[in-house]
Amino acid sequence: MFRAIHLTRDNDVFQARVAELDEAALPDGDVTVRVEYSTVNYKDALAIANKSPVVRKWPMVAGIDGAGVVEASSHPSWKAGDRVILNGWGVGETHWGCLAQKARLGGDWLVRLPQALTTRQAMAIGTAGYTAMLCALALAKQGVAKEQGDILVTGATGGVGSVAVSILSGWGYRVVASTGKAAEAQYLRDLGAAEVVDRGELAQPGKPLQKERWAGVVDAVGSHTLANACAQAKYRGVVAACGLAQGMDFPSSVAPFILRGVRLIGIDSVMAPRAEREEAWARLASDLDRGKLDAITTGLSLAQAIERAPDVLAGRVRGRLVVDVNS
């Protein structure tokens, strides 16, 4: 038996609870992992609070992220005792997830835990931090140089934003953090932001082309915020889009792209190829300031993860929520 956040829907009656489940009920997979830590991402919160059709198969064990130790494996890449990370691949949506003490997963989905990281640190990073690194690497690979100007990070107190601010400032970029939480300005400066701006400057409808401000952008917000970020990007600026906290719409025009050569890059973390995942995790292990990581992390139990899901959706959480699945 093992404990997990179990999501059920019977006759349209939804329930999220910590349940004792039989290991025999675990889904098919060629690697069984003893999970040590998981986390509560925005998508997890949607599933746990039943606010969006994230879950595609019922019943479901929540948790799109996990880090732990391989217990058994028939996959050639993994053996008992290996320490691994799981991000995405439909886990917690169509396949039982990692807000649980046990998970049975596809070996092709796993990434080896870098030696420099603990499983708890890996989940303090989680999909949010891994996505932030994919965004930062996209800007660098597109040739955005430090001397070209400021980098805008939207939704900066969230999981993606907090890690992106830390990474990019650590690489020497001048980072401008956008947030609706004025009280968190010092928190963002401590992470490395050179300037903090109110999200209201970006969240309303704006002109198709605006004053050039950003050499690069990491956007986790979408909607008008993303449209304005593109409209304010400098000539040949790069915008990495990875989220939809404000909305899925994109009320923009072609003007920034055909008149300024702005490049809009979509960042997908769920199905990213193994090589990209391994590169991102290697860079997180080498480049991310552990002290800053600790500063953005709050620990939870499985039961507390359920309680905090509405706070994640309401934007009342800063940084990362790490779940000790054994507490």
pLDDT of residue 11: 86
- Asked if residue 108 is part of any domain, the answer here is yes
Percent of the chain with pLDDT over 70: 100
Cα distance between residue 104 and residue 226, in whole Å? 37
Whether residue 209 is contained in a domain is answered as: yes
Residue type, 84: V
- Do 161 and 245 fall within a single domain? yes
φ and ψ of 36, to 5 deg: -105, -45
Q: Per the domain annotation, does 282 fall within a domain? A: no
Give the model confidence (pLDDT) of 156-190 as tens digits: 999 999 999 999 999 999 999 999 999 999 999 99
Average pLDDT over residues 89-118: 97
177-211 in b/e form (b: 16+ CB < 10 A) is: bbbebeebbebbbebbbeebbebeebbeebeebee
- For residue 191, pLDDT over 90 is answered with yes
Clarify whether residues 227 and 101 are in a common domain: no
Does 76 map to a domain? yes
pLDDT single digits (tens) 139-150: 999 999 999 999
Q: Are 181 and 157 in contact (CB under 8 A)?
A: yes
Domain span at 142: 127-266
Check whether the bond before 59 is cis (ω within 30° of 0).
yes
**pTM of the prediction?**
0.93
Measured between alpha carbons, how far is 22 from 2 in angstroms, rounded to an integer? 7
